[in-house]
Structure 1
Amino acid sequence: MASITHDFAVEASVDKAWKALSDVGAVNQLITFLGPVTVDGDVRTVDMGEFLIKELIVAVDPEQRRVAYSIKESPYELEHHHSSMQILPAADAADGCRMVWTIDVKPDATADEMAPGVVNAVEAIRKALAGE
């Protein structure tokens, strides 16, 4: 199984970042290139125009400030997908915080396919939380 991990600084308070991340139905406000999002129970659907992505929301943990989800339907040929995003205080106690996003996928080659989109998503999250 392959993993993609990004640990990155965010120019927002822990509380602001967590409020945005924990609103699982508004992920397109953080990753602004995503299409419309709907949530039905614990299933989040992202309409990307040409295809849908359906995700199972596994956990929204306010104590750990962590959201976990698993892609169940997408254009990728996935045997397995699990992802978590967590908000942590900044390592140097400066203003802002960090986000750690870990994605585990199988088959391994899927990580290479997903990596460019994840990099773009990280930049979108940074900009959205910084108010850009």
Structure 2
Amino acid sequence: MASIHTEIVIDSRPEQVWAAISDVGAVHQRLLPDRVADTRLEGDVRILIFPNGRVIRELIIDVDDTTRRLAYAVVEGAQPSLTHHHASFQVFPEGSDRSRLVWITDLLPNALATEVRARIERGAEDMKRTLEEAAAR
């Protein structure tokens, strides 16, 4: 199983970053407004709708305010065809006014790791930009 570990430092306080990450129904507004057109919740399932109409369903496994950790798994719509996808975000303080966001993704098949890593890195940069813009307002 491939495991992708990405960390990014964000110029925003941990409680602000966590508030956005843990708002699981607002990905399109608070994290990836340029990449996700809409987000819906159906029980523990988060549905991401992309501008091109593609839909991904994710099972929200855990939202832990104490450890500032969100865990989820893609259960439908993964592109390319992943047979397993589990990921987590965790927010840590980085000095007084910054945060470190750790994004860990486990996936199968291993052969897709390079492509998925590139998507995760772009997504992390997009989230960083969005969160820093929100912090500056």
For the aligned pair, the TM-score class normalised by the smaller chain equals over 0.9
Question: Which structure 1 residue ranges, 4+ long, deviate > 3 Å from structure 2?
Answer: none
Aligned equivalent of 1:79, options 58, 72, 83: 83
> Residues 1-132 of structure 1 correspond to what in structure 2 (within 5 A)?
1-28=1-28, 29-32=30-33, 33-48=35-50, 49-74=52-77, 75-90=79-94, 93-131=95-133
2:115, 2:80 → 1: CA distance?
8
Distance 1:111 1:36 in 2: 26
Task: State the distance in 1 between where 2:19 and 2:97 align.
Answer: 17
Please tell me the residue identity of whatever aligns with 1:35.
A
Gaps in structure 1 of 5+ consecutive residues: none
Could you tell me the percent identity over the aligned residues? 35
Instruction: Give, in whole Å, the separation in 2 of the partners of 1:5 and 1:31.
Output: 19
TM-score, normalized by length of structure 1? 0.92
TM-score where L is the length of structure 2? 0.89
Q: Secondary structure at the match of 1:24?
A: coil
SS across alignment from 2:101: strand
**SS of residue matched to 1:86:** strand
Provide, for residues 43-74 of structure 1, a one-character-per-residue CA deviation record: whole Å limited to 9, x for no partner: 00111234210000000000010000000112
Deviation at 1:35, TM superposition (A): 2.1
Q: Which amino acid aligns with 1:11?
A: D
Aligned length: 130
Which stretches in structure 2 are left out of the alignment for 5+ residues? none
SS in 1 for 2:58: strand
Distance 1:37 1:67 in 2: 16
Q: What is the root-mean-square deviation of aligned Cα atoms in Å?
A: 1.3
Give the 3-state SS of the residue equivalent to 1:5 in structure 2.
strand
Shift of 1:78: 1.6
Amino acid paired to 1:16: Q
How far apart in 2 are the matches of 1:54 and 1:99?
23
Query: In terms of mean alpha carbon deviation, does 19-28 or 107-116 score higher?
Result: 107-116
